[in-house]
Chains A and B, each alone.
Chain A
Amino acid sequence: MPRRAKLGLQIGAVCVIALLLGLLGWRLAANAEGRNVAAAADDGERPPAPELILPLLGGDGEIDLASYRGQVVVVNFWASWCVPCRNEAPLLEEASQRWGDRGVAFLGVNAQDFLGDARAFVERYQITYPNVHDGPGETLGRFGITGFPETYFVDAEGRIVSRVPAEIDAEALEANIRLALSP
C-alpha cells in the first residue's frame, strides 16, 4: 500500500475514533450538567435554571421558563401514570390559586407520558396553571430529575433555590415558596 494512502487511512481512523469519543464525552457532560444543577440546588448555591422551552399541553404555542423572569416559579415535573403525582395534584392547584396574585407562578412539566393521558389528568384534577409536554423527557437530564414527581423552586432571577424530589406536602410547598421569595 502506498505510504500516502496508508497515512490517509490512519488519519481517517484516528478522526473516526476522536469523533466517537467526542460524542461520548458530550453525552456524559450533558448528563453531568443536570446532576450538578440538582446537587448545587441541594447545597443552597442557587444555580441558574437550565433552558426549558416546551409546547403547551393543552394547545398551540410553547412556554419558555426564562419568560417568567421577575416572578418566582414553582416547576412541577409529573406524569399521569405516577401515583404520587396524582396525590399532590390537588395541593398544587390550590396553592397556585392562593399564591397567584403574590408573584408566584406555577408551571407543570409533563414528561415520558402519552399526550392523551396527560390531558385527561389535567382535566380530571382541574389544573388551571399552564402545563407543558416533553414526551421523550429531554429536559429531565438537564434538571437532574431522577423520578416523578419532582418540584423545583425558581427565584425571580431565574435561579433554582431548592427542589423536592418526592411527593410534596403543604408544609414543604409553603416553606420553599417563601425561600424562593426571599432575596
Chain B
Amino acid sequence: MTRAVLVALAVALLLAAPALASEQSPTLAELEGEVTCPTCKTTLELSDSPIAERMREFISERIAAGDTKTQIKDALVDQFGEAVLNAPPKSGFNLIAWVLPLAGLVAAAGVVGALAWRWTRGTGRAAPGDPPGEPSGRLDPELERRLDEELARFDG
C-alpha cells in the first residue's frame, strides 16, 4: 500500500516537473503556440504580421525580464483581451469551455454503459418455468438444438 502511494507520488512529481519548469521559465516557442495574433486569428507561430512580430518582441522582453508564463499571458490579456489566448482561462464563465466537453464525455460514457447493461440484461430469453421478468441463462431448446447441429457439422 505504502509502495503504491510512493509510486503514485513519484509519477505525479515526474508529470508536474516539466509543467512547473515551463511556468517558471517559459520559452518564446511555447508561448507562440499558446497566443493568438489579434489581426490574423492564428497562433503567433503561424503569423508573420506586424503585430505578431511586435508581440514576439514583447514576449522575448518579458522572458528576459524573468516573468513567468502566467505573468506574460496576463500582460497580453490586459492589452488585447482574453481572445489573445488560444485556450480560455480556467475561471469564471470560461470554465464552461473546459467543463462542458468533459461533462459530455462522462454523460456519453454513462449512456453507453447504461445501454450496454440493458442489452446484456435483455439477451437471455426466459424459458418456461422461469420467474417472470428474470432473464434466463438457458437457451431456447430449438436454438440449442440448431447450435448443436451446427457445431457437430463444424467438428465433422
Contact = CB atoms under 8 A, between A and B. Distances in A.
Contacts, number: 32
Contact of A138 (B39, B58, B81): B81
A1 B79 CA distance: 51
Main secondary structure of the interface of A (DSSP, over half): loop
Given A82-B50, A138-B81, A112 B114 contact: no
Contacts of B53: 81
A74 interface: no
Interface string B80-92: 1101100000000
A117 B50 CA distance: 13
A81 B80 contact: no
A81 B79 contact: no
B139 interface: no
A112 B38 contact: yes
B10 interface: no
Contact of A114 (B54, B81, B83): B54
A136 to B, nearest CB: 3
Given A1-B114, A136-B38, A137-B38, A112 B80 contact: yes
A23 to B, nearest CB: 11
Given A81-B54, A136-B80, A138-B81, 19 more contacts: A81-B51, A81-B53, A82-B50, A112-B80, A113-B51, A113-B79, A114-B54, A114-B58, A114-B79, A115-B79, A117-B54, A135-B78, A135-B79, A135-B81, A136-B38, A136-B81, A136-B84, A137-B38, A137-B80
